[in-house]
Chain A
Amino acid sequence: MKGLETASLGFQYGEGGPAALDGVSVALASGAVSWLTGAPGAGTSTLLLAACGLAPQYTGGVVSGSCRLLDEDPQTAEGRARLSGRVAYVSADPASQLSGIAETVVREVAFAPANLGWPRERIDLAAGAALDRMEVSHLSSRLPASLSGGEQQRVVIASMLVLSPEVWLLDEPGSALDARGRATLAAILADEARRGALVVVASEDADWLAGFADRLIVMAGGRIVRDGVPADLLADPALAVTGAGSTAVADFARALAERDPAFESGRLPVTVADALERWQ
């Protein structure tokens, strides 16, 4: 399968500790935006790390079950070597993802393609395009470490975008971004999915993801507890039991419906566009 496929994937950070992942079996296809959510500690971040082999390689811990990403095994050194440059991983902390070597933003973005041995002309073109798409061209000559958190996050995403990766694994990528930055990233991720990339976003920001995610997977205690279309799951009052939050529009509609049952009989709207269409 061209995408991510796990079978009974388990993970523990310490011997005898609680399971961060507990028998996760899921298949995520390329060409769609999949959204992982859940209460803190649900296992969404660990699933992303295990999916690309960063856990347990750099986090320590014990993995069980199987995981295939783009038909490679990310838990082996050979698999990770074959996936190098094809998978983009973005964490919530942009400062920790900077190379610490590049003296300018444009060099930071060019860092990964240079490591892959791309020709200079190709690197220059791709880096310029990535900076433009993330709207950080004006920062090209700045020192990455001197940027604000939001600017650093844009630079980190541009540093992955430059590779045109086949897989995007993003852990709370919008946490450091402002509203415009989140809108830009949403458009880019939707474009990447249309291009055929596998996009997986772990986030509790329901208002942001509800607008462009194709599939919602809710996790709790290291297990998948709900899996379906975001609009359906977010409108379901039972979602609150899992610890995952819904959108402000869905919460508002639910509060109105509780006051006056006649107000809304069908599925509750979950986004502003959804609400406009239903209530106009």
Chain B
Amino acid sequence: MRLHPFTPFLLVLATALLAVLLPAPLGPVALLVVVMLVAVATGAWRAAGAAILLSVPLWIFLLLLHGAMRGGEGWQAAVAQGARLTAIIAASLLAYRAFRPARFLDAAASRGWSSGSALLILATLQAAPRLRARAARILEAQRSRGLRVRGRPLGRIGALAPVALPLILQTLGEVDARAMALETRAVGGGRRTALENVRLRWPDHVLLAAAALAVVAAFCWRALW
């Protein structure tokens, strides 16, 4: 099922709103379960795993700060806050996984956005995988020069600088190279032609309507009770 490129990001927004509006601690926990079920159902195991890994330090921090120090209600607050953040992280990773730059550009063109502003958003969204690929290349290059990246923790920390420094410098250089490449490809502020007719279809309508309903219901519940 190919969703409209904007739909996953609107669903992330709805997840964030629901995470704040739903009654704690059961609401955020239920939301986290739903997001994880969606991840499993769509085969996004890695996204779900990455979300859990990223959330572990947050959970430790929250449990120590709220639970261990305040006890009782503190444990509930820690669980609610942890579930909120994990749900938002997992939803964001799921949206990112479904992200297709070319379709996003076509959708933006169909909406009348200038190619410049659409590419600005794209550059931001594409920064992470580019950095990861570049870091892997630098790591391999440094290893071939004898850098030890495995073994004792202190040794690993020592190996960070020879990888991080070239990564930062090369990334700065790539920004210019990328900008130059795009300028030679007539990227500017003009109106771009959409190469594909990207439209909201019934799955988009169903998902967005359900998300909107859930947000409105949660908001009403919050306002009335």
Which A positions have Cβ atoms within 8 angstroms of B? 52, 54, 57-59, 80-81, 84-85, 87-89, 96-103, 107, 110-120, 123, 159-160, 163
Q: Are A116 and B190 interface neighbours, CB within 8 A?
A: yes
Q: What separation, in Å, do the CA atoms of A89 and B177 have in the docked complex?
A: 13
C-alpha spacing A102/B122, complex, angstroms: 12
A114 near B192 with CB under 8 A, answer: yes
Shortest C-beta distance, B186 to chain A (Å), equals 4
Which stretch in B9-17, B57-65, B70-78, B97-105 binds the other chain? B97-105
CB-contact partner of A117 in B122, B179, B192, under 8 A: B192
Q: Contact at B192–A80, with CB atoms within 8 Å?
A: no
Q: Say which residue of B126, B191, B193 sits within 8 Å of A123 (CB atoms).
A: B193
Closest chain B residue, CB of each to CB of A89: B184
Which applies to chain B's interface (DSSP): helix, strand, loop or mixed?
A: helix
Contact B102 A103 (CB under 8 A): yes
Assembled-state Cα–Cα distance A117/B183 (Å): 15
A100-B178, A115-B190 known; A54-B195 Cβ under 8 A = no
Q: Are the CB atoms of A58 and B183 closer together than 8 Å? A: yes
Nearest chain-B residue to A116 (Cβ)?
Answer: B186
Given contacts A58-B180, A117-B193, A118-B193, contact A111 B185 (CB under 8 A): yes
The answer to whether B105 and A101 have CB atoms under 8 Å apart is yes
Q: Is the CB of B186 within 8 A of A84?
A: yes
**B168 to nearest A CB, angstroms?**
17
B109, closest chain A residue (CB): A114
Count of chain B residues with a beta carbon within 8 Å of a chain A beta carbon: 29
Task: Give A99 to B95 CA distance when docked, in angstroms.
Answer: 22
Beyond contacts A114-B109, A114-B193, A115-B190: 14 other A-B pairs, Cβ-Cβ < 8 A, are A52-B184, A57-B180, A58-B177, A58-B180, A58-B183, A80-B183, A96-B177, A99-B182, A101-B105, A107-B195, A112-B186, A117-B192, A159-B185, A163-B186
B102/A107 in contact, CB under 8 A: yes
A97-B184 contact in complex given A115-B115, A115-B190, A116-B190, C-beta closer than 8 Å? yes
A76 → B minimal CB distance (Å)? 14
The one of A54, A110, A115, A160 in contact with B180, judged by C-beta atoms closer than 8 angstroms, is A54
Residues of B within 8 A of A120 (CB): 193, 195
Distance of A96 Cα from B187 Cα, bound (Å): 15
Q: Taking the nearest CB of chain B, how far is it from the CB of A172, in angstroms?
A: 16
Chain A residues with CB under 8 A of B182: 99
B187–A110 contact, CB under 8 A?
Answer: no
* Given A58-B176, A115-B188, A163-B186: A97 touches B181 (CB 8 Å cut-off): yes
Do the beta carbons of B179 and A58 come within 8 Å of each other? yes
User: What distance in Å separates the Cβ of B167 from its nearest Cβ neighbour in chain A?
Assistant: 17
Interfacial chain A residues near B126, Cβ < 8 Å: 100
Highest count of chain B CB atoms <10 Å: which of A80, A114, A115: A115
Q: What residues on B are CB-neighbors of A160 within 8 Å?
A: 184
Cα distance, A54 to B176, chains bound together (Å): 10
* Beta-carbon contact of B186 and A85 below 8 Å: yes
Q: How far is the CB of B216 from chain A (nearest CB, A)?
A: 36
- Specify which of B101, B122, B191, B195 lies most central, judged by the most chain A CB atoms within 10 Å of its CB: B195
Nearest 5 A/B pairs, CB to CB? A58-B180, A115-B186, A112-B185, A114-B193, A101-B101
A159 to B183, CA, bound (A): 13
Q: Mark B163-205, 1 if CB is under 8 A from A, else 0.
A: 0000000000000111111111111101111110000000000
Q: How far is the CA of A247 from the CA of B179 in the complex (A)?
A: 36
Whether A81 contacts B188 by the Cβ 8 Å rule is: yes
The interface residues of chain B lying within 8 Å CB-to-CB of A57 are 180, 183
B101, B184, B187, most chain A CB atoms within 10 A? B184
Given A100-B178, A101-B101, A101-B105, the answer on whether A123 and B195 have CB atoms closer than 8 Å is yes
Bound form: Cα–Cα A107–B192 in Å: 13
* B195 and A101 contacting across the interface, CB-CB below 8 Å: no
- Contact status B195-A99, CB under 8 Å: no
With a cutoff of 8 Å between Cβ atoms, the chain B residues found around residue A59 in the complex are 176
Which of B130, B183, B184, B195 interacts with A114 by CB under 8 Å? Answer: B195
